[in-house]
Amino acid sequence: MTDSPLARWERHNGVALAIASLLYLASYATRILGHDLPGPVRDLCLAVTFAAWAVFLVDYAVRLRLSGQRLPRFLRTHWLDTLVLLLPLLRPVRIVQTYETVQRHHDRPRLALYTRVITYAGLSVALLGFAGALTVYQQEHAAPGANIRTFGDSVWWTCTTLSSVGYGDLAPVTALGRLVAVGLMGCGLALLGAVTGAFSSWLLQVFAREGERPPGGSPGASSHEGD
């Protein structure tokens, strides 16, 4: 079966987009956390950030053109592409999808379902948490009345929010910080549910296979007894 032009584009450019995603995240983090860096270095980080986002914009435009759809329909059917264009810090989350695309291209076996779910959820938690901590730190550390003053405070707050623990010792006071908090709460609950469900299903399958084995050990024992 011949691949569509859109599928070929995704297969051939997935790795390049993944690299651009990591460059965007690294340059953004360096600019936010590197207060003492020289001006030219900060300007270089800003240039890399905008260049990576320009790559995402070109990719989005090409996907729209190759899909053959009008913009309103494309927005409905490719809402995730639109989301990561508007919030490029989420782009690295798609690295797992890129890995699977490369594996299929080389006719290699895909990861098992439970492995994919747990890997994707773990990677998503790490990247979303890091991006959320950066954003909250940027908004909160100089805000009047804020108690999130260091990046360490922001990471601690992000961990308690994603895990739905919420100690309440730290909390954002800015509008954008609170908006990020709402997003992290929803993502944390969804990812925790996905991992718990996948792990529970895996345990049930293991117990079911154990229950199907005849007494005495190996599954082939009953066939030898009938010989």
pLDDT by residue (tens digit) across 189-217?
A: 877 777 777 777 777 777 777 776 655 55
Q: Which of 194, 177, 95 is nearest to 140 (CA)?
A: 177
Question: Reduced to 3 states, what is the DSSP secondary structure of residue 38?
Answer: coil
Q: Where are the beta strands (DSSP E) in the chain?
A: none
Question: What is the reported pLDDT for 44?
Answer: 94
Tell me the pLDDT tens digit for each residue of 56-75: 999 999 989 988 888 889 88
Choose between 141 and 111: higher pLDDT.
Answer: 141
Q: Which of 6-10, 46-50, 163-167 has the highest mean pLDDT?
A: 46-50
Average pLDDT value for the chain: 80
Q: Whole-model pTM above 0.85?
A: no
CATH code for residues 111-211: 1.10.287.70
Q: Can you give the pLDDT at residue 77? A: 87
Domain map (residue ranges) of the chain: 1-103, 111-211
Nearest CA-CA partner of 139 in 157, 154, 159: 154
DSSP codes of every residue in 71-82: HHHHHHHTHHHH
Residue 150 has a pLDDT of 92
pLDDT tens-place string over residues 15-72: 788 888 889 989 999 999 988 889 899 999 999 999 999 999 999 999 899 888 888 8
For 106, phi then psi, to 5°, come to -95, 15
Could you tell me the two tokens for 48? 């890399």
Buried b (16+ CB within 10 A) or exposed e, 90-105: bbbbbbbebbbbeeee
* pLDDT of residue 92 exceeding 70: no
For tokens 């270089």, name the residue. 44
